Structure 1
Amino acid sequence: MEPSKTDPMIKYNLTEFPDDQDGECPLDPVNTGRTHVRFHSGKSIWASRSTLEKVLAVLCLVLLAIVVLLVVLMAKQDQNIMYLHLGHDMAHDHKDVCLSRACVDVAASILSAADFTADPCQDFYQYACGGWVKANPIPHGQSTWGTFGKLWQQNQLVIKNVLESPPEELANDAERKAQTYYRSCVDSNGTAEARGGTPLLELIERIGGWNLTGSNWSAGSWDFQRTLQRLHNEFNAGPLFTWSVVEDDKNSSSYVIQVDQGRLTLPSRDYYINKTTADDHVLAAYLDYITKVAVLLGGNEEEVRRQANDVIRLETELAEIITPSDERRDEEAIYHKMTIAELQETAPLVDWFVFFQDAFSQVNVTLPHNLQVVVYAPEYLSKLCDLLKEKYLSTLRGKVILNNYMMSKSGGGLVRCLSKAFRDAYKMLRKALVGTDEDEETWHYCVDDTNAVLGFASGAMFVRQNFKSASKQLAEEMIEDVRTAFIENTKKLHWMDEETRKKAEDKAEAITKMMGFPPEILDSDYLNDKYALLEVKENEYFENNIRFSKFALIKNLMKYGQPVNKTRWDMTPPSVNAYYSASHNMIVFPAGILQAPFYDPQYPRSLNFGAMGVVMGHELTHAFDDQGREYDKYGNMNQWWNNATINRFKERTKCMVEQYSQYKIGNLTVNGRQTLGENIADNGGLKASFDAYRLYRKAHGEEVPLPGVNLTHSQLFFLSFSQVWCSAATPEAERVTALNDGHAPARYRVIGTLSNSEDFAREYRCPLGSNMNPNSKCQVW
């Protein structure tokens, strides 16, 4: 989905080199380790040489001239791929090697990333990525670092350069808004620093006050419903629960109001359960963070710390009634459509019709009294109302705690939009959560912010600067090859009944593919209209973020009652990512990922299919994972599988849950249930892409080897797949992944997937029973 303002940002530090390295070179008398040869003056060097030495010198000059001539002639060849004849002692079947620049560059990259001293049949991740991990320490200010982050770094720089160009060079008003927003974030004139916490204090006053800051707030006159409406419907903040206008999962051609459980401040409920600020360093850091922010806003430190402890205890109680994500994977089971009256009965503490009408009045929509909504967490809402009524809304002290929590939750994300003192307050919490508290250069996170707020405007700039039509054409051919291979493979699945198989093939055929970028973003009128309601001012970074939150809310409300656009993109073009939309039955591959090292039209197809092809297969397989399979080819959730086939599918997924649940991350294990959908997609995507590559080879013949890489192209396919996941992370960041992420850690995305692949075991000749070729394998697709 489109990155939100609260998503973790990809950050890095750029190592800069002097532009001019040809400056003065002072003579240094210190021994540098080089061998210095002294010559005596007087007799010339040539005259002092013997006849044999003179002959050898001439021969060397002649050979050097021949080599230079050959290099010049090869450089002038028109062909994209050049070949060098090799001797018969090479381990390849072919006697030619690809010497194009792309081949030489990627061969060097493969060799530097790999650790060929490792046994590929024991630990293929070490074999593929050992060199990369050794040569790529986590950069300054980062908690994770990998191939995705390095490519995003390149994309960031492209966006930065365009955003910093003269305004008259930009194509339209929308792009100039993106530039203005970026400048407000960079804050080169120090406006944000000079204003300190004033913008947030003014916002708190508008909402009604925050007891922690010592503002004029009164528990006796506090109106819970009114505050809830202001935070949700005016500032799009969303404490206690979430709601939005979305496609109805059971009727994806229409929009519906959806209500769900709330989100916690920390990444997972596991950071709260059975822990206190006295015995847990993360909760202690969270307490310090709330305290420092409130003190900066005018609160008394001793009193603030006491009240902040109460806030964390309330949030811990919310964590206890929130359903864990691994128990919410069956979307059909948690889907509850009900009338507004039924919602009122389920959660009577809020006047729901008044709440929703308050929101929709902003777009001149009058809701019907028999309004239907979809609730994904009725049990949570019921428990929430009981908790708040019995413990927090029944006493003045309880109201103080609830107000403090709601304001802390709503204002926390805006702290980073204030001066350095406020941003520094977050450092210790970030250190506790992800293992680093180092600063980064401002422009990095400002590019991220701009991409989140005006991503299709900055995306249009990125596309014009960086995306080639040839990249899109070959990528579209590849996805069709992967789709064909996936459909052919379904015919071999004995666990599927024939009727379900035919419907699955129809769904795979119906999947819409989107490559690169939505073409309309290059239309200035379209782009200007898209962002027409968003006001951006250069010296108002804090206010720009408030305006964006309101803009996003209004745009969402305006969907209600309108036809669904099933070709809408929810990810910006520069994103190094891809996604599958179940309600649209659509796979999307932004321009940002259609680049090396994932993909290059000049690369051998083995590498393209191994990296980008597996990404394509991964997203396609999501249409048939444990959640995607519940949606038919039209994007509607219903049971279109035979009951016996569903049961056999679930038996196969149990194998995968058990497999991944055995993998360790520090003192934790991977959550096999939480990561099931992604693991199914990884395994299915690998198989579909390798089958597609086999079909390509059958049609086009074998590819010539890469220089210096003594591997077949089938072996290179699996190495290319694996090197996409080369990465490093702090122990704290790994903990966040284990507890909160729907993906397995990178290491196990390689080991888990390849150890299930008979194709991999055959190509690397791994003995049966070895780590990478276990006797028992899990396979779904």
Structure 2
Amino acid sequence: MNIRQGGISLKKLIVKATEAEDGDANQPTNDSIDKSLLKDDLYQAVNGRWEKTAKIPADHSSTGGFMDLNDNIDKELMHDLDDLKAKNKDSFEAPFSEMLKLYELAQNFKKRDADGADPLKPYLEKIENISNFADLNGQLADWVKTGFPLPFGFFVEPDMKNTQVNALFANSPSLFLPDRTYYENNNPAYNQLMPVLTKTLSQLLVLADYSSNEADEIVESAKKFDAAIAPHVKSAEESADYSKMYNPQKFSEFAKSSSHFDLTKLADGLFGKTPEQIIVTEPKYFEALDEIVNEDSFQDMKNWMLVGTIYSATGYLSEEFRQTGSTFSRALSGKKEATPQKKSAFYLATGTFGQTIGDYYAKKYFGPKAKADVEHMVRNMISVYKNRLQNNTWLGEDTRKKAIVKLDKLGLHVGYPDHIDQLEYKYKITPENEGGNLFNNMTRIGQVALADNYAKLGQPVDRTKWEMSASTVNAYYDPFKNLIVFPAAILQAPFYSLDQTSSQNYGGIGAVMAHEISHAFDNNGSLFDEMGNLNNWWTKEDHEYFTKLADKMIKEFDGIPFAGGKVNGKLTVSENIADAGGLSCANEAAKNEQDYNLYDFFINWAKVWRMKATTQYKQLLLNIDVHAPAELRANVQVKNLDDFYSTFEVKSGDGMYLKPEDRVKIW
């Protein structure tokens, strides 16, 4: 649950603020407001002049807002790491020293180009040498530990009904295209994108020394297997309902899902013994597993594995592999160019050592004065929320009391964690002068991470662990820990600055804070109690009333035209409820300050959602993102607040006017 645009393991279900990519901070600074538009289109009034002159960098699909801030941080950190990597790597403590080694290794494209496909070939040969299910079952545990793809996966995360302990989950594989809906109803996006992906995959196989004919045959076979998977997995809209993920089964029953995979033997090999229970995130998929995976489809599955292995490795191989491998994602998002080599190396190293780089960034660039001020703001937001719950008129007394208990138990992390995740201390990089190459190092890191995850089965959950680097411009609510987290990187202008007015800060970071708090009480978060357990603490009557309010939010957004498509109100309802609650509570908090200025508040709210994106990227987000488009987040939510109308003198007939009876007010 997050504040940025975007989109299974449960880690993907922490509710962040948005899910957009990096942008280029070297943009025109035309921040002048077109006051003539304020009553008709707040977003365009604040951002329209900027949008006319802003340019989307060739290696990006969007720019503005979150993305520009991320790009500024990237530049700062790349400059710092370039200075530091010139020094003796071993003079730094681990894991920072290992991150510098990986950064240097990833930048050595001369070595990567010379190696070509050689590091990958032993893995491809292993797949090719599997001739039947008996062969595969004989080495299935080692296969999983090594990181080979399979048409199912295991992961360990907190048990959704007992979040103090880690449990075993089973999930389905990813599809070639972003969502199941691409495969349905003659979706024109399928006919646009699948040929691009087909060509990309064939070219990658040729780079791995398959003949052109072999490559084409393998890809068509792999696509056939992908098409067999598609009807049985959840769409993005279906996945947005977290409670439907919780489907516990006895492992002995789950093992019957496949007549061809020995799932009991696999579990014994991975965990030392067969677990008693497994939580199945997509039961319909596993009910169809025998239909998808059988003797008739074995060769298609093998080719699907080959294709998946090559495609996932492209970022660790030569420049030709990297450029070719990014072709499909660029077509999907509208990027004109691949990420530059040096930046791609930076992303690879810091993405692997996320907590390490976050710790460095926060300690260097984030001050204690800002931390104290931000914590004060969060406490103010929680106080506003508590007052609203105490005076709520539609919740029954029992539900209201339990809601307040949940709010009182809400955890808060600001800036950076107390310690770097121990997993990153386990990553050891073999440098080039000791025979290391990038592909083998990254493969080994993946194996270490997987082993670390599996070792947590049955162990207590580390409730202090951050799921996001402190250097990420974002924030999140974790429903399984009842915890809100604000990394250091988001605590800068326009979201927050000691130089901004309090109203500007409440319109930025204040609304983000309250957005994350609101996730504790959205249509998903409301299903979890104060400890993060899936536990219905609502009376039937209260939940039915809440559902009616949520339906009003669905209706408010559903079907709004955007980027040649329409907003899916059901897909975006959780984030829209959080935006509504966040903006409303931040508005009240701003009014509690002596220097409040609601004009500043609403203007900065619109400014933080500034975004210029390619049409392809907008369409992608429209299909898979649980957030409404940024422009609509800025415009639609303010229409629900009475103070917006008085601040800008908006009346019936103005573009920003919404009838009082149509204004959605939940929290």
Q: Same fold (TM over 0.5)?
A: yes
- Post-superposition offset of 1:250: 0.3
Q: Which moved more, 1:143-152 or 1:756-765?
A: 756-765
Deviations 1:106-163 (A, max 9, x none): xx96xx3344154222111101111221231111211111211111111112221232
Give the Cα–Cα distance (whole angstroms) in 1 for the partners of residues 439 and 132 of structure 2.
31
**Which of 382, 403, 422 matches 2:287?**
382
The answer on whether the counterparts of 1:277 and 1:283 sit within 8 Å (CA) in structure 2 is: no
SS of the equivalent of 1:654 reads helix
1:702 aligns with 2:603: no
Structure-2 residue corresponding to 1:327: 238
- In structure 2, the CA distance between the partners of 1:2 and 1:629, relative to structure 1 (3 Å rule), is closer
Matched, 1:679 2:597: no
SS of equivalent to 2:532: coil
1:125 aligns with 2:11: no
Write the letter of the residue equivalent to 1:491. Answer: Q
Instruction: Tell me, yes or no, if the aligned pair for 1:11 and 1:141 is still in contact at 8 Å.
Output: no
Query: For residue 305 of structure 1, what is the amino acid of its counterpart?
Result: D
Q: Deviations over 1:360-417 (max 9, x none)?
A: 2xxxxx32x561111121121111222222xxx23xxx32211010222233121121
The alpha carbon displacement at 1:508 in A equals 0.9
CA-based RMSD of the aligned residues comes to 2.5
Partner amino acid for 2:342? W
2:431 match: 538
Match of 2:160 in 1: 249
Is 1:408 aligned with 2:292? no
Letter in 2 for 1:200: L
Counterpart Cα distance in 2 of 1:724 and 1:489: 26
Contact 1:344 1:352 survives alignment (8 Å)? yes
Aligned partners of 2:515, 2:220: CA distance in 1, in Å?
44
Query: Where does structure 1 lack aligned partners over 5 or more consecutive residues?
Result: 17-107, 211-216, 361-365, 522-526, 704-712
Matches within 5 A, 1:231-246: 231-235=143-147, 237-246=148-157
Contact 1:668 1:738 in 2 (8 A): yes
Cα shift readout 1:722-761 (whole Å, capped 9, x = no counterpart): 1001011111111110111111111111112112222222
The answer for unaligned runs of 5 or more in structure 2 is 1-9
Correspondence list, 1:24-423, <5 A: 112-164=30-82, 165=84, 166-167=86-87, 171-187=92-108, 190-205=110-125, 208-210=126-128, 217=129, 219=131, 223-226=135-138, 229-235=141-147, 237-274=148-185, 280-360=191-271, 366-367=272-273, 369=274, 371-389=276-294, 393-394=295-296, 398-423=297-322
| CA distance in 2: counterparts of 1:480 and 1:278, whole angstroms | 46
* Alpha-carbon separation, structure 1, partners of 2:187 and 2:517: 43
For residues 227 and 326 of structure 1, the distance between their equivalents in structure 2, rounded to whole angstroms, comes to 36
| Cα separation, 2, equivalents of 1:226 and 1:500 | 53
Q: Provide Cα deviations, 1:616-641, integer angstroms capped at 9, x if missing partner.
A: 01111011111100110011111110
Indicate how the Cα distance of structure 1 residues 8 and 683 shifts in structure 2: closer, same or farther if over 3 A, else same.
Answer: closer
The aligned residue for residue 369 of structure 2 is 470
Q: Distance in 1 between matches of 2:22 and 2:476?
A: 22
Change (3 A) 1:274 1:662: closer
Matched residue, 2:536: 639
Counterpart of 1:201, as a letter, is K
Local SS of the residue matching 2:425:
coil
1:479 to 366, 378, 386: 378
Most deviating of 622-631 and 307-316: 307-316
Name the amino acid aligned to 2:121: L
Q: Deviations over 1:85-120 (max 9, x none)?
A: xxxxxxxxxxxxxxxxxxxxxxx96xx334415422
After superposition, the Cα gap between the structure-2 partners of 1:759 and 1:249, relative to the gap in structure 1 and judged at 3 Å, is same
Aligned position for 2:621: 737
CA contact (8 A) 2:24 2:68 kept: no
Instruction: Tell me the TM-score normalised to structure 2 length.
Output: 0.91
The 1:749/1:277 distance shift into structure 2, 3 A limit, reads closer
Cα 1:375/1:2, change in 2 over 3 Å? closer
Seen in structure 2, the aligned counterparts of structure 1 residues 568 and 279 have a Cα distance that, compared at 3 Å, is closer
Q: Following the alignment from structure 1 to structure 2, what is the Cα–Cα distance between the partners of residues 756 and 225?
A: 58
2:24–2:71 Cα contact (<8 Å) kept:
no
- Is 1:777 matched with 2:648? no
Report what 2:348 is aligned to.
449
Indicate how the Cα distance of structure 1 residues 156 and 726 shifts in structure 2: closer, same or farther if over 3 A, else same. same
- The whole-number CA distance in structure 2 between the counterparts of 1:370 and 1:530 is 24
User: Pairwise mapping of residues 521-600 of structure 1 onto structure 2 (< 5 A)?
Assistant: 521=420, 530-539=423-432, 540-600=437-497
1:209 partner SS: helix
In the aligned structure 1, how far is the partner of 2:19 from the partner of 2:531? Answer: 32
Contact 1:293–1:425 (Cα < 8 Å) also in 2:
yes
Tell me the SS of whatever aligns to 2:349: helix
Count, aligned residues: 645
- Could you tell me whether the CA contact under 8 Å between 2:409 and 2:530 is conserved in 1? yes
Pair 1:568–1:427, CA change in 2 (3 A): closer
Deviations 1:17-40 (A, max 9, x none): xxxxxxxxxxxxxxxxxxxxxxxx
> Following the alignment from structure 2 to structure 1, what is the Cα–Cα distance between the partners of residues 361 and 167?
34
Computing the radius of gyration from Cα coordinates, the structure with the larger value is 1
Does structure 1 conserve the Cα–Cα contact (< 8 Å) formed by 2:59 and 2:340? Answer: no
Shift in CA distance, 246/488, structure 1 to aligned 2, threshold 3 Å: same
User: What SS is found at the alignment partner of 1:254?
Assistant: strand
Specify the code of the residue in structure 1 equivalent to 2:545: R
CA distance in structure 2 between the partners assigned to 1:218 and 1:330 by the alignment: 38
- Greater shift in the superposed pair: 371-380 or 326-335: 326-335
Give the secondary-structure state (helix, strand or coil) at the position aligned to 1:247.
strand
Identity %: 25
Q: What is the CA-CA distance between 1:267 and the residue it aligns to?
A: 1.6
* Contact 1:13–1:140 (8 Å) recurs in 2: no
